[in-house]
């Protein structure tokens, strides 16, 4: 099994990449994420896994620069989900939605590269149709879980 790259975080906020034996920045970590590199950030003093906190820090910095991904309304809705009875369902729903989006984006790029005879509009229309089907199925499953009506359909 492939072991993730270990990044150590010191009390002075410095990040140390143990695989390359050098200090790195949050921008370097963002690049690792973009490249799909597996890593774990561990606090030096306690050896606690703090990967999520560091990823949230990267997101916060990205949101403060340029063109934010999340509107204020979306962030408020996210906060309202914490402690709510649908928190786990919402988390699963978001993961599935992002996976669908990733799959569809990859498929779009694959189709653009493989089908010279297809127009970009046809490829995009087909991708949108498939994405809508997947999105509706995910929504249906989310609502069944959230409302507890996951009974067998007749």
How far apart, in whole angstroms, are the C-alpha atoms of residue 82 and residue 136? 24
CA distances from residue 123 to 18, 19, 59, 108 in whole angstroms, order as listed? 44, 41, 31, 7
Domain ranges of the chain: 5-64, 72-147
Residues above pLDDT 70, as percent of the chain: 84
Q: In this predicted structure, which of 17-21, 102-106, 109-113 has the lowest mean pLDDT? A: 109-113
Tell which wins on pLDDT, 124 or 12: 12
Confidence band for 83, pLDDT divided at 50, 70 and 90: confident
């Amino acid at each position: 099994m492939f072991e993730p790259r270990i990044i150590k975080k010191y009390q002075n906020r410095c990040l140390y990449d143990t695989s390359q034996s050098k200090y790195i920045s949050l921008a370097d970590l963002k690049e690792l994420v973009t490249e799909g590199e597996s890593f774990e950030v561990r606090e030096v003093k306690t050896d606690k896994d703090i990967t999520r906190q560091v990823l949230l820090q990267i997101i916060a910095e990205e949101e403060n620069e340029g063109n934010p991904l999340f509107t204020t309304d979306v962030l408020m809705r996210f906060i309202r989900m914490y402690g709510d009875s649908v928190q786990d369902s919402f988390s699963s729903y978001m993961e599935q939605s992002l996976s669908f989006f990733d799959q569809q984006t990859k498929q779009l790029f694959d189709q653009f590269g493989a089908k010279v005879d297809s127009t970009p509009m046809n490829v995009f229309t087909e991708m949108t149709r498939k994405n809508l089907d997947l999105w509706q199925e995910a929504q249906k499953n989310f609502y069944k879980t959230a409302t507890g009506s996951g009974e067998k359909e007749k």
